Structure 1
Amino acid sequence: MIPPEDPPVQDHWPDDPVPRPPVPDHRWLDEHAGPMVRPYVMTSGRIEPTRGKFDLITLVVADGPEPEGAIGLGPEHLAILRLCQSVLSVAELTGHLDLPVATVRVLLGDLLDKGFVSMQEPEPEADMHDIRLYKAVIDGLRAL
């Protein structure tokens, strides 16, 4: 998105006898613009999901294909659904989306509320005897 053209820069101010250097051109172009939508806009200012805790090792999977024209879903929701066609952890989703963890948790809560995803919360630490879970988390973090 390119902002509207700036007015021409004056080399000096009226009534100012000292010439000033021209102001550099600060137009945003393509990928140099950076993120255009702030995370709090994506979540409507919410900082906690409506449902689910979503630890970094919580596993998430889409319950079906990406819905056509789902009302109330933004592009980030749809990106999560595309990524979650296979099981991913919240940490992996955060890395793929390049969004803050808190934002991803809120978006996942929205999808859980609408029935688009299922999640598997991690077991309490005392009950974790399966080394495969640790290996899966380590492999996921290495993939980031």
Structure 2
Amino acid sequence: MTGRPEERTTSAVRPYVITGGRADTGGEPLSWESLVMAADVDVPPSLQPEHRMILTHCQGLLSVAEVAAHIGQSPPVVQVLLSDLLEWGLIVSRPPIPPAERTDLSVLRKVLHGLESRL
């Protein structure tokens, strides 16, 4: 031992405490690609800090995975917290675009190459 205290890199609050012991959202969980944004409503003062942090970061559209990265929690924990906020009407969500509706990348590459050839 070097006698130097180790720096803590993770939260001291365990995920099961943050989610109230829940590992399930109670319904269909938001996918990691789903987009969420804070609703334009008054925030109740009784919200726990993690819910408040999410609302602070979700002023624009963010994916579930991005929210997890911003608040330093795993995506499954964030999915539970977001389902709470969604149920309480404090956020709105937009499902990810299904793969069948996404733009074909080969078309975008052709457009890019066409533009590059004109420059």
Moved more, 86-95 or 75-84: 86-95
- 1:56, distance to aligned residue in structure 2 (A): 1.4
Q: Distance in 2 between matches of 1:118 and 1:51?
A: 16
Larger relative contact order (Cα-Cα within 8 Å, sequence gap ≥ 6) = 2
Counterpart in 2 of 1:124? 98
Describe the superposition over 1:21-62 as per-residue Cα deviations: whole angstroms up to 9, x where unpaired: xxx98989xx64852210111101111223452111110000
Counterpart in 1 of 2:31? 55
Report the TM-score, using the length of structure 1 for normalisation. Answer: 0.62
2:80 corresponds, among 82, 93, 106, to 106
Counterpart in 1 of 2:21? 45
8 Å contact 1:61–1:117 — kept in the other structure?
yes
1:1-144 matches, within 5 Å, as 32=8, 34-64=10-40, 67-69=43-45, 71=46, 73-129=47-103
Report the RMSD for the aligned CA atoms in angstroms. 2.7
Structure with the higher fraction of residues in helix conformation: 2
Report which of the two structures shows the higher radius of gyration computed on alpha carbons: 1
**Aligned residue-pair number:** 105
Structure 2 gaps, min length 5: 106-119
Q: Distance in 1 between matches of 2:78 and 2:67?
A: 8
Residue 119 of structure 1: SS of its match in structure 2?
Answer: strand
- 1:91, distance to aligned residue in structure 2 (A): 1.2
Structure 1 gaps, min length 5: 1-23, 132-144
- 1:106, distance to aligned residue in structure 2 (A): 0.1
Report the TM-score, using the length of structure 2 for normalisation. Answer: 0.73
* Structure 1 letter corresponding to 2:103: H
Residue 54 of structure 1: SS of its match in structure 2?
Answer: coil
8 Å contact 1:59–1:88 — kept in the other structure?
yes
Moved over 3 A (4+): 24-28, 31-34
> For residues 34 and 88 of structure 1, do their structure 2 counterparts lie closer, same or farther at Cα, with a shift above 3 Å needed?
closer
8 Å contact 1:63–1:115 — kept in the other structure?
yes
Describe the superposition over 1:94-121 as per-residue Cα deviations: whole angstroms up to 9, x where unpaired: 1111101110000000000000000001
> For residues 74 and 26 of structure 1, do their structure 2 counterparts lie closer, same or farther at Cα, with a shift above 3 Å needed?
farther
